[in-house]
Structure 1
Amino acid sequence: MPRPTRRKPATSTTPSLGTSSRPDWGLSMSESAWYAVRTATRRERKALQSLNEFGFTAFLPCETRWTHDRNGKDVAYSPLFPGYLFVLIRPSEIHDVLEIDGVHDFVRCIDGSGEAAPMPIPAKAILTIQAEERAGAYDRTKSKRRVYRPRKGDRVMVEAGTWLGFIGKVLATPRGERAHVMLEGPFGRGVTLNSDQLRAA
């Protein structure tokens, strides 16, 4: 298959909130949105590099951890969502991205026509992850803070994991370190989360 046409180099990985944040598929072919991309195992950085080389704006959130070997302790950076990264593109560029080295597929969901289509990610969710990363939310080398203990009825924000940035209400705390939370918004649903993933909203 032909390789995608090389675009001008990407100059920024942080778009303004003007980027579409609609959770539906009502996008024109020229309207940019964020999408989640599945990569080859442990090839997230290669896919990121390839996307950037072809001029696409891509974002690979990472966490920081300590590693230990015979020489002592060192800092290591690893993808926050192993096997995935985010790319800002127009719907007309979806097939071009699929031709990029290291990219396997998009995260898909059934759309209104019954097709498994690449699902746009709200820009606000990406900006939240970027802000949390800059603030050190994924830096595991820092001293552990006191764990928040949610109680039934508390309004909370998710600080880590799949539902990062979502607001919800605690329905129950059946096992101390866990909490049942009803998320707000268009993706509202009941989820069970660790207490250390939550903070008071």
Structure 2
Amino acid sequence: MESWYLLHCKPREIERAEWHLQNQGFTTFCPRWKVQKRVGGKRKIALEPLFPNYLFIQVDLAKDNYTSLRSTRGINGFVRFGGQPARVPDSVISDIQCRTSADNESEEGVKGLYAKGTPVEILTGPFAGLKGLYDIADGESRCFVLLDMLGKAQRLELDEGDIIASS
């Protein structure tokens, strides 16, 4: 019976490994999520592996010839515990697939620390003690917070570590 296993890939060769495995007839899964990067001074949304250098593969160890996996370009080998390839439960794979597909289809692009509209309090800086609403994530550690100032919502860019959810 086919089960999911975890493969360790060589650095920056996960796409190559995935392509070669699919050409060999294996079912693979590389969960990806949206991240915002700064490239050439501009912000860009990119899909990156959720688990860098790791790839899930569906294989039947009793039937399939999985020894060819060791020599597949981009693959280091199975992740093993006690000398045996580590089996990943189907429920874990389906949960990851649901979560990453929802993230990849979202309009906002980047998952933030809080949901949009969450009341937050600023902890540091000149705006410390003020309360606002979490707007969206802006990269790996920054976010936008909406503050009500002068009768209008002002958008403020902060580090996510500088805010905390408030009631």
Q: Give TM class, smaller chain.
A: 0.5 to 0.7
Change (3 A) 1:103 1:138: farther
- Given the alignment of the two structures, is residue 60 of structure 1 paired with residue 55 of structure 2, yes or no? no
Number of aligned residue pairs: 113
- In the alignment, is the contact (CA less than 8 A) between 2:35 and 2:46 conserved in 1? yes
How far does residue 136 in structure 1 lie from its aligned partner after superposition? 1.1
How far does residue 45 in structure 1 lie from its aligned partner after superposition? 0.9
Name the CA distance, whole Å, in 1 between partners of 2:40 and 2:20.
Answer: 34
Residue 73 (structure 2) aligned to one of 98, 101, 111: 101
**% same residue:** 26
Q: Unaligned stretches of 5+ in structure 1?
A: 1-30, 111-115, 148-176, 178-201
Which residue type is aligned with residue 121 of structure 1?
V
Which residue type is aligned with residue 109 of structure 1?
F
Structure exhibiting the larger radius of gyration computed from Cα positions: 2
Change (3 A) 1:119 1:67: same
Partner of 2:139: none
More strand by share: 2
TM-score by length of 1: 0.51
Instruction: After TM superposition, list the pairs within 5 Å mapping 1:120-139 onto structure 2.
Output: 120-136=87-103
**36-45 or 96-105, larger mean C-alpha shift:** 96-105
Name the CA distance, whole Å, in 1 between partners of 2:89 and 2:20.
Answer: 24
- In the alignment, is the contact (CA less than 8 A) between 1:62 and 1:138 conserved in 2? no
- Given the alignment of the two structures, is residue 35 of structure 1 paired with residue 5 of structure 2, yes or no? yes
TM-score by length of 2: 0.61
